[in-house]
Amino acid sequence: MESALLNRSGICSRQNVRDIADEILKRRYLKKNGEGNVVETPQQMYSRVANTVAAVEAKYGAADSEIKRLAYAYYNLMVNGIFLPNSPTLMNAGRENGMLSACFVLPIEDSIEGIFEAVKQTALIQKAGGGTGFSFDKLRPTGDRGASSGGTTSGPISFWRVFSETTNAIQQGAFRRGANIGMMSIEHPDIVRFVYAKRNLAAFTNFNISVKVPDSFMKKLADDPGTSHVVVNPRTKKRYVIPRSVGSSSYTINDLIPADGANHN
């Protein structure tokens, strides 16, 4: 691909860039028929998007002439490279799917039903070209008691892996490669496992991760850098300290020290 971008002088040519852009449009954005053949030109795609977006103004009292004027103006912005909407809008505007949003934050409840309902919604959103974000804060920590079986839970990281594999499974047939962000509060007992989960470079490759840090944590850290960091079991609300000696990817809630314990090392 790199060689296709360069002309004989080693400089990227406008024609080659245009050819590559056209190829990307054909693969991911332009309409296809049941046999997978492209049945839309880039100009038709711009017109489809412009007409769909401008038509919304009818809900706010715009006359047909004003809607046509807005559609034409929007079309020209796209054709001239001045402005482009997000990928789902280019893919879905004026089509059966109709999803124009790019990013969705899905709740994950602390139950098998809640977790796999979020997995289902993830698959549907990513199939349509959207991206998804999750907070794992509500999930009980590794080694905690299960709600019905009386056994112990495998924890947020194992269910995080389900979301990652779901993305891998559907991306072949989706409009574009699925993308996710996973979040966890710094006060969750599994936070160390979460932070270290991507040390394996082959794991969670379709996820960015983010640690949720409140102002109160930063203030406490600034005032007393040596103070013990307290985490909270979201199910029981019991407070613990993560000892420095725990394995970053193998500890459970049973390896943590109750916050009123005498030894926090």
Domain boundaries, the chain: 2-92, 103-214
List 240's β-bridge partners, or say none. Answer: 231, 258
Exposed/middle/buried for 18, CB within 10 Å: 0-12, 13-18, 19+? exposed
Contact 132, 122 (CB under 8 A): yes
State the pLDDT at residue 263.
47
Tokens matching residue 41: 């030109």
In angstroms, the CA 207 to CA 167 distance is 10
Closest CA to 51 of 70, 24, 78, 31: 70
Tens of pLDDT, residues 144-181 = 987 666 688 999 999 999 999 999 888 655 566 678 99
In degrees to the nearest 10, what's the CA dihedral of 46, 51, 56, 59? 170
Neighbours of 70 (CB within 10 A): 18
State the pLDDT at residue 128.
83
Q: Which fold has domain 103-214?
A: Hypothetical Protein Ychn; Chain: A, (3.40.1260)
Give the strand order in the sheet containing 239-241: 230-232, 239-241, 257-258
In angstroms, the CA 237 to CA 241 distance is 13
pLDDT band at 8 (very low <50, low <70, confident <90, very high): low
State the pLDDT at residue 170.
83
State the pLDDT at residue 14.
66
- Average of pLDDT values for 21-45? 88
Residue 4 has pLDDT above 50, yes or no: no
State the pLDDT at residue 23.
85
